Protein backbone atom coordinates (compact mmCIF):
# COMPACT_ATOMS: atom_id res chain seq x y z
CA UNK A 1 0.00 0.00 0.00
CA UNK A 2 1.15 3.51 -0.69
CA UNK A 3 1.71 6.17 1.97
CA UNK A 4 2.66 9.82 2.05
CA UNK A 5 4.65 11.64 4.72
CA UNK A 6 4.87 15.38 5.07
CA UNK A 7 7.70 15.93 7.47
CA UNK A 8 6.72 19.38 8.71
CA UNK A 9 3.31 20.03 10.19
CA UNK A 10 3.93 23.78 10.44
CA UNK A 11 6.27 26.04 8.52
CA UNK A 12 6.45 29.72 9.53
CA UNK A 13 8.35 32.03 7.18
CA UNK A 14 8.71 35.73 6.55
CA UNK A 15 7.29 37.39 3.48
CA UNK A 16 9.59 37.26 0.42
CA UNK A 17 11.62 34.40 1.90
CA UNK A 18 12.01 31.11 0.01
CA UNK A 19 10.15 28.07 1.26
CA UNK A 20 10.34 24.31 0.79
CA UNK A 21 7.59 21.95 1.95
CA UNK A 22 8.76 18.38 2.11
CA UNK A 23 6.92 15.30 0.91
CA UNK A 24 8.08 11.70 0.80
CA UNK A 25 6.09 8.74 -0.40
CA UNK A 26 6.37 5.00 -0.30
CA UNK A 27 4.97 2.75 -2.97
CA UNK A 28 6.00 -0.49 -4.63
CA UNK A 29 4.63 0.70 -7.96
CA UNK A 30 4.84 3.90 -9.98
CA UNK A 31 2.70 6.79 -8.86
CA UNK A 32 1.34 10.10 -9.96
CA UNK A 33 2.12 12.93 -7.54
CA UNK A 34 0.12 16.00 -6.63
CA UNK A 35 0.23 19.05 -4.41
CA UNK A 36 -3.03 20.63 -3.28
CA UNK A 37 -3.59 23.86 -1.35
CA UNK A 38 -6.45 24.58 1.02
CA UNK A 39 -7.20 28.18 1.94
CA UNK A 40 -9.34 28.80 5.04
CA UNK A 41 -12.95 27.69 4.59
CA UNK A 42 -12.33 26.51 1.04
CA UNK A 43 -11.90 23.20 -0.73
CA UNK A 44 -8.68 21.67 -2.01
CA UNK A 45 -7.19 23.31 -5.10
CA UNK A 46 -4.60 21.65 -7.30
CA UNK A 47 -1.25 23.47 -7.32
CA UNK A 48 0.64 21.11 -9.60
CA UNK A 49 1.03 17.49 -10.62
CA UNK A 50 3.68 15.09 -11.86
CA UNK A 51 2.56 12.40 -14.28
CA UNK A 52 5.66 11.73 -16.35
CA UNK A 53 8.46 13.49 -18.25
CA UNK A 54 10.43 16.36 -16.77
CA UNK A 55 11.00 15.91 -13.06
CA UNK A 56 10.67 19.65 -12.41
CA UNK A 57 7.03 20.63 -12.47
CA UNK A 58 5.75 24.20 -12.41
CA UNK A 59 2.37 25.04 -10.96
CA UNK A 60 0.16 27.97 -10.19
CA UNK A 61 1.07 30.94 -7.99
CA UNK A 62 4.81 30.56 -8.64
CA UNK A 63 5.13 27.14 -6.99
CA UNK A 64 7.23 24.31 -8.37
CA UNK A 65 8.08 20.78 -7.28
CA UNK A 66 10.75 18.29 -8.16
CA UNK A 67 10.16 14.56 -8.43
CA UNK A 68 13.11 12.56 -7.14
CA UNK A 69 12.54 8.87 -7.81
CA UNK A 70 15.64 7.63 -5.98
CA UNK A 71 14.68 9.52 -2.83
CA UNK A 72 10.93 8.99 -3.34
CA UNK A 73 10.36 12.67 -2.72
CA UNK A 74 8.26 15.42 -4.25
CA UNK A 75 9.18 18.61 -2.39
CA UNK A 76 7.30 21.83 -3.08
CA UNK A 77 9.21 25.11 -3.41
CA UNK A 78 8.62 28.79 -3.95
CA UNK A 79 11.50 31.27 -4.20
CA UNK A 80 9.62 34.18 -2.61
CA UNK A 81 6.39 33.80 -0.65
CA UNK A 82 3.56 36.28 -0.10
CA UNK A 83 1.20 36.76 2.81
CA UNK A 84 -1.52 35.34 0.57
CA UNK A 85 0.32 31.98 0.39
CA UNK A 86 -0.69 31.29 3.98
CA UNK A 87 -2.66 28.05 3.74
CA UNK A 88 -2.55 24.30 4.33
CA UNK A 89 -0.63 22.33 1.71
CA UNK A 90 -1.27 18.66 1.00
CA UNK A 91 0.89 16.22 -0.92
CA UNK A 92 -0.95 13.29 -2.52
CA UNK A 93 -0.17 10.21 -4.60
CA UNK A 94 -2.19 8.04 -6.92
CA UNK A 95 -1.13 4.61 -8.18
CA UNK A 96 -0.62 4.26 -11.92
CA UNK A 97 -1.62 0.64 -11.84
CA UNK A 98 -5.12 0.78 -10.49
CA UNK A 99 -7.87 3.00 -9.23
CA UNK A 100 -8.10 6.73 -8.97
CA UNK A 101 -8.06 7.25 -5.22
CA UNK A 102 -5.76 9.91 -3.87
CA UNK A 103 -3.70 9.13 -0.77
CA UNK A 104 -2.91 12.30 1.13
CA UNK A 105 -0.19 13.33 3.51
CA UNK A 106 -0.91 14.93 6.86
CA UNK A 107 -0.68 18.44 5.51
CA UNK A 108 1.71 21.33 6.19
CA UNK A 109 0.42 24.63 7.50
CA UNK A 110 2.42 27.40 5.84
CA UNK A 111 2.19 30.71 7.67
CA UNK A 112 3.75 33.74 6.00
CA UNK A 113 4.46 36.59 8.39
CA UNK A 114 5.10 40.23 7.45
Applying CB under 8 A, the span of 21-29, 45-53, 54-62, 73-81 interacting with another protein comes to 45-53
CB closer to another protein, 41 vs 70: 41
Applying CB under 8 A, the span of 18-26, 44-52, 60-68, 77-85 interacting with another protein comes to 44-52
Question: Is residue 22 a contact residue for another protein (CB under 8 A)?
Answer: no
Which among 45, 39, 65 has a CA at the least distance from the CA of 54? Answer: 65
Question: HEC profile for 12-44?
Answer: EEECCCCEEECCEEECCCCEEEEEEEECCCCCE
Distance from chain centroid for Cα 31? 14
Query: Rule CB under 8 A: which residues touch another protein?
Result: 32, 36, 41-46, 49, 51, 90, 92, 94-96, 99-107
Amino acid sequence: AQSVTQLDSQVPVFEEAPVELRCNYSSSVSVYLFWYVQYPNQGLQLLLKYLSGSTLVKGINGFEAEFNKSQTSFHLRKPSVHISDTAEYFCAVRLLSSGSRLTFGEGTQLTVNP
